Amino acid sequence: MMNPTGTGGRLMAGKRLLNAFLTVLFSAVSILYLYPLLVILINSFKVKAYISRAPFALPLDKMFAADANYANGIAKTNFFDALKWSFVITVLSVFVILLCTSMCAWFISRVHNRWSRAIYFLCIFSMVVPFQMVMFTLSKTANTLGLTTPIGIVVVYLGFGAGLAVFMFSGFMRSSPISIEESAMIDGCEPVRTFFSIVLPILQPTYISTGILETMWIWNDYLLPYLVLDIKRYKTIPIAVQYLKGGYGSVDMGAMMATLVMAIVPIILFYLFSQKYIVSGVMAGAVKG
């Protein structure tokens, strides 16, 4: 006869062994992903001459540059000015994307006709079209319409960020009961008041997760600001880092490493603070039924 206890014990032991193996495997993968960030951090404290000679060595003794690279990077890139424009563009763009796309998704989810379906499929289609197909036309259009300022580029980001945001908001709204909104309208609520008093609080999980994803994209974006903005007057952090290159391809690697560290620290802190909301928000925005 088979021994159920022995079979169950072997299954449990096998499961523990598999879990231990997966833990080691994914820990190793995590270290591989974090290692480039660690190398940047190490080299940001290293004298420029030793960054190319010993890129993986610790900044000890004569290699140690203290805060010279950071001071040099701030001076050469006008870092705080670039930080200001990155912050302004990111905050305004994310605010406009969340507000406009949530209203659009509410309309799509509650009004069932050919126009709402067409708007929805156009937003989804915008996620499929590669940016490289439209970037030259976009640059020309932005110059013609005068969208080459930090305020103007918000409109451009709204167009490119609407697809994902509408998809997530409309997926959540389809799973949300309409009875609460109907009760509010029966009590005399107009559509605008219904949205801000009833719908907006319900959408909070999707607002958080969509806002996090859009913030990380816009903060780190290089190509769109480079094509659209008047970079003689407005430089975001990725553009400022690029301008550390000198003549004949020379690069001040010490200043660049220090500037990269200062550029990624804010978004890493933002992500670590907000990561617990991502999964819950994405699950809430998943399409149901």
Q: What is the pLDDT of residues 139-167, one digit of tens each?
A: 888 888 888 899 999 999 998 888 889 98
Q: What is the pTM of this model?
A: 0.82
Choice between 188 and 99, residue whose per-residue pLDDT is larger: 99
CB 195 within 8 A of CB 248: no
pLDDT confidence band for 131 (50 / 70 / 90): confident
Task: Indicate the pLDDT class of residue 288, thresholds 50, 70 and 90.
Answer: very low
Residues 6 or more apart from 191 whose CB is under 8 A from it?
Answer: 185
What is the predicted pLDDT for the residue at 1?
A: 47
CATH of 68-284, one of 1.10.3720.10, 3.40.50.2000, 3.40.309.10, 3.40.1360.10: 1.10.3720.10
How far is the C-alpha of 179 from the C-alpha of 185, rounded, in Å?
A: 10
Return the pLDDT at 52. Answer: 81
User: Is the predicted pLDDT of residue 250 greater than 90, yes or no?
Assistant: no
Measured distance CA(46)–CA(33) in Å, rounded: 22
In the predicted structure, residue 194 carries a pLDDT above the cut 70: yes
Can you tell me the distance from the alpha carbon of 191 to that of 172, in angstroms, rounded to the nearest whole number?
19
Q: How far apart are CA 208 and CA 270, in angstroms?
A: 12
Q: Which of 63-72, 172-181, 272-281 has the lowest mean pLDDT?
A: 272-281
196, amino acid identity: F
User: In angstroms, how far apart are the furthest CA atoms of the chain?
Assistant: 84
Position 281 scores a pLDDT of 55
Answer whether 89's CB lies under 8 Å from 230's CB. no
pLDDT, tens only, 198-218: 888 888 888 888 888 899 899
Span 43-91, pLDDT tens digits: 888 888 888 888 888 888 888 887 888 988 888 888 899 999 999 999 9
Q: How confident is the model at residue 96 (pLDDT cuts 50, 70, 90)?
A: very high
Query: What are the distances in angstroms from CA 79 to CA 115, 170, 236, 255?
Result: 46, 39, 9, 11
How far is residue 13's CA from residue 9's CA, in Å, rounded to a whole number? Answer: 6
Per DSSP, the three-state class of 245 is: strand
Question: Is the Cβ–Cβ distance between 204 and 213 less than 8 Å?
Answer: no
- For 105, other C-beta atoms within 10 Å of its C-beta total 28
pLDDT recorded at residue 158 = 92
